[in-house]
Amino acid sequence: MLYPRNGKEGIIECSDAYWGSCKATRRSIPGYLASFKGHLVIWKTRKQEYVSTSNAEAEYKYLCDLTLKLLLLKQWTTEVGMRNAQSPILIWNDNKSCINTAKSNSNFNHKQMKHVNIQLHFVRETNQSNKSLLKYIPSGNMLAEFLTKSVNKNVLERALYAMGVLRLHVRGDVRELAEKSHN
């Protein structure tokens, strides 16, 4: 990978979950991805080991996991001089309840999510200390959508292009390209 000095700045992250999507177990399928200077560097999608009692809980579990990984990535990119240590990591999420809970200053004693209390406080602390910044993004613009549910070709191509995975600027078919490369 090439990280040009004048290339895309910073780390871009997206976290998404499809709540109760497994019809057999009703477990959620969350996922996240992160890019650095236009290149995909972190991604994960996997059916959760337990049934989430809310969509916010399903999102929060992976949001905590992503935040941990991003803090390590931020530390490494800062150490090698590729990033400003003071700038927060921007994390996009399409669940307003999840974002509002993380940004809330009130004690968290909701019966529905008491068991995610530690993860909540970790994500909240990173947000309040300006290490991360949670922002809402509508589901239609969520790049991690293809990790959690079936999407059409255009949505998949847009996400892969935005993450630096897909760079197709080709004219003609594969045979024409092969002939040109052998000549």
The 10s digit of each residue's pLDDT in 94-128 is 888 888 878 877 655 555 556 666 667 788 888 88
User: What is the C-alpha to C-alpha distance for residues 101 and 104, in angstroms, rounded to an integer?
Assistant: 5
- Is residue 2 one of the residues assigned to a domain? no
pLDDT at 3: 47
Domain count, the chain: 1
- Is residue 170 one of the residues assigned to a domain? yes
> Domain span at residue 89?
11-182
Q: pTM higher than 0.75 for the full model?
A: no
pLDDT at 109: 54
The sign one gets for the Cα dihedral 132, 138, 139, 142 is negative
- Is residue 166 one of the residues assigned to a domain? yes
- Is residue 3 one of the residues assigned to a domain? no
- Is residue 172 one of the residues assigned to a domain? yes
The 10s digit of each residue's pLDDT in 54-83 is 777 777 777 888 888 888 888 888 887 776
CATH number at residue 121: 3.30.420.10
The 10s digit of each residue's pLDDT in 33-60 is 887 777 778 888 888 787 877 777 777 7
- Is residue 27 one of the residues assigned to a domain? yes
Q: What percent of the chain has pLDDT over 70?
A: 72
Find the helix packing angle between 55-79 and 96-103, rounded to 10°. Answer: 60
User: What is the C-alpha to C-alpha distance for residues 137 and 30, in angstroms, rounded to an integer?
Assistant: 16
- Is residue 1 one of the residues assigned to a domain? no
The rounded Cα 59 to chain-centroid distance in angstroms is 11
